[in-house]
Amino acid sequence: MKILNKVLLAVLTVSVLASVSACHHQKPVKPTASTATTAPVNGAATRMSGDGDARSDGQNGANARMVGSATEATGPAVFFAYDSYEVSSDYNALLDQTAKRLLANKAAKVRLEGNTDERGSAEYNIGLGERRAQAVKHALVVRGVGESQLSTVSYGAERPQVQGHDEQAWAKNRRVDLVDANR
């Protein structure tokens, strides 16, 4: 019986590893309207593990130093650690400033566009991008911004800010862009 259990465990382990490996090599797909949502986050954002953005230490590292940096085309952004949707406290100033602007102008709207690096399956990256966008939304709602002023969408890995296949490029692609939705 013990030998049978060990054989079953080995077979199960191999099949799980094979399916995980296959998932990480799928070609990304474009997001659909069903990926956009304005549903609230239940509680604070937390670190996630297990996708193409996986990091076990939960640290934002170099990403935390990029507060508010992004290209002029995308505007301000919140960057994330590998496989994380935890909003670093390093972004408090950016979030406070954004909340203050939205509170002063109730007609203003911001679209929170969640993005990931290229690693991971398309499905996982769409989900992670959505969790990132929802985490930033939650951070703004906690600051008093009305949910009607915020919308979220996930593009997964479809809209990289930087082309490349290294940590420098990936770090700049793990982000939520704060886009003026009134334009």
pTM here is 0.63
Q: State residue 125 phi and psi, 5-degree precision.
A: -65, -35
DSSP string, 17-29: HHHHHHHTTPPP-
Q: What is residue 75's predicted lDDT score, i.e. its pLDDT? A: 80
Q: What is the DSSP letter of 161?
A: S
Q: What is residue 89's predicted lDDT score, i.e. its pLDDT? A: 98
Q: State residue 117 phi and psi, 5-degree precision.
A: -80, 180
Q: Is the pLDDT of residue 160 over 70?
A: yes
Compare 64 and 182 and report the one with higher pLDDT.
Answer: 182
What are the tens digits of pLDDT across the range 125-147?
A: 999 999 999 999 999 999 999 99
Please state the separation of Cα 22 from the chain's center in Å.
22
Query: What is the arithmetic mean of pLDDT over 84-103?
Result: 98
116 touches 131 (CB < 8 A): no
CATH H-level superfamily of 27-180: OmpA-like domain (3.30.1330.60)
Residue 64: count of CB within 10 angstroms of its CB: 15
Compare 8 and 105 and report the one with higher pLDDT.
Answer: 105
Q: Is the torsion defined by CA of 87, 61, 163, 26 positive or negative? A: negative
